[in-house]
Amino acid sequence: MRKVTRFFWFCSGAHIDTLKKYPIEHNKYVGIGATIFFTALFASLSGGYAMYFVFSGNAFAVGFAILFGLLWGTAIFNMDRYIVSSINKEGTTNQQILQASPRILLAIMIGIVISRPLELKIFDKEIRQKLKTAYLKGQHSKIDTLTKTYQQKYAMELGKASDLKKEKDSLEKDINRSRFQLNQEVFGDKTNQTSGITGYGTYAKQKSAVLQEKQDRLKTVTADAGKMDQYLSQRKDFEGVNNLRLFSEHQLDSLAGVAGFADRNWALGQLTYNENGTRDLDTYMAISFIGYLFILFECLPVFVKLMSPKGPYDVAIAKTSEANLHYADRDKQRDITVTDSLFDHNLDEDITRRKKIITGQSAHDFENYRYD
């Protein structure tokens, strides 16, 4: 338990040797350190989960996710530890709030960043369904667009194929009707279209000739329609119309499973809207409250430090800081004094040395001087 306590003290950024002297402050800094630690832990999970989807499908996706999660969690831990430890209790409440405001804004941004990947995991099932619906709609739209383009490009050929089909249907009906009338003529059935004379007579031969003419025309129309259909089918293959199919349920599951971070983030945003474009308040509130929870959790160490009254540890740290500043100032003065003393000593030595040089040079010049 003592090791856990010291670990949370370290997480809080407190000066452990000073904190040991004031037992009344121990629990407060254990709580602050625990909050910072678990915030970093959630940040690791969040960052690792986000990176897993970035490298989704890669053989090293899990390794990258673990590595990035540890790096991201360590960075958040270090940042939170600095934010909390840099807030001192000196000055008025307004001064402390002003001092902490940039750190609170930074904590809010960190809370937003680490909450998003966890929201993606919490609403994973709903996101998958939204992605499947979006992919299916996109495929429908793609097929409709390609089909419309094909119909516009080959409107003349499609019109001719339609006319041939109509003519073929009409000829088939006429042939069936003519064949029935021919049978009536041959068997002597009296109607307004037959003579009523039994046998294959003149009228029967005429009707047979008309029937044969229609059958020949049907063969020609059928052949032309087949050629046109074959041509249009080739054009469909060339334009890609025949290659597009709606996704099956298995394909939609696969696409949703390999969706990237951006697609999943978009789907999460779309969950807050109904099909008619109105706001889905229930889902919006659920997603928002999860984000607010992490933002609050991230800001909590700063708030605890601000709300807590100034304790003996804070006073001791302030006094230690003043003592260190005084020591640094005195150390500076000592260095200045030593530097000045050394400079003066070097200056005196340099002056003495130069005097000797000048004196020696003068004596040498005097001895070597000759009068003319």
Task: Report the chain's C-alpha Rg in angstroms.
Answer: 47
| Cα separation values, 199 from 185, 186, 207, Å | 8, 5, 13
Three-class HEC string of 245-256: CCCCHHHHHHHH
Calpha distance 364→328 (Å, rounded): 53
Q: Which two tokens stand for residue 15?
A: 């000066």
pLDDT in tens, 325-334: 888 998 899 9
pLDDT in tens, 245-301: 777 778 878 877 767 777 888 888 888 888 777 888 888 888 888 888 878 877 877
- 3-class DSSP state of 68: helix
Confidence bin at 336 (pLDDT 50/70/90): very high
C-alpha 196, offset from chain centre: 86
Q: State the pLDDT at residue 57.
A: 64
pLDDT in tens, 140-182: 888 888 888 878 888 888 888 888 888 888 888 888 888 887 7
With 0-12 CB in 10 A as exposed, 13-18 as middle and 19+ as buried, what is 300?
A: buried
pTM for the complete prediction?
Answer: 0.56
What are the beta bridge partners of residue 156?
A: none
What are the beta bridge partners of residue 251?
A: none
- Helices 61-85 and 281-307 meet at what angle, rounded to 10? 40
Calpha distance 310→90 (Å, rounded): 8
What are the beta bridge partners of residue 273?
A: 279
Any residues with CB less than 8 A from the CB of 286 and at least 6 apart, and which? none
Q: State the pLDDT at residue 199.
A: 66
- H or E element at residue 268: helix 261-270
- 3-class DSSP state of 273: strand
pLDDT in tens, 191-206: 766 666 666 667 777 7
pLDDT in tens, 17-72: 888 888 888 888 888 888 889 888 888 887 887 787 777 667 778 888 899 889 98
Any residues with CB less than 8 A from the CB of 98 and at least 6 apart, and which? none
- The terminus-to-terminus CA distance of the chain in angstroms comes to 103
With 0-12 CB in 10 A as exposed, 13-18 as middle and 19+ as buried, what is 363?
A: exposed
pLDDT in tens, 84-121: 887 777 767 777 778 778 778 877 887 787 778 778 88
Mean pLDDT for the stretch of residues 345-356:
88
**Contact assessment for residue 255 and residue 132, using Cβ atoms and an 8 Å cutoff:** yes
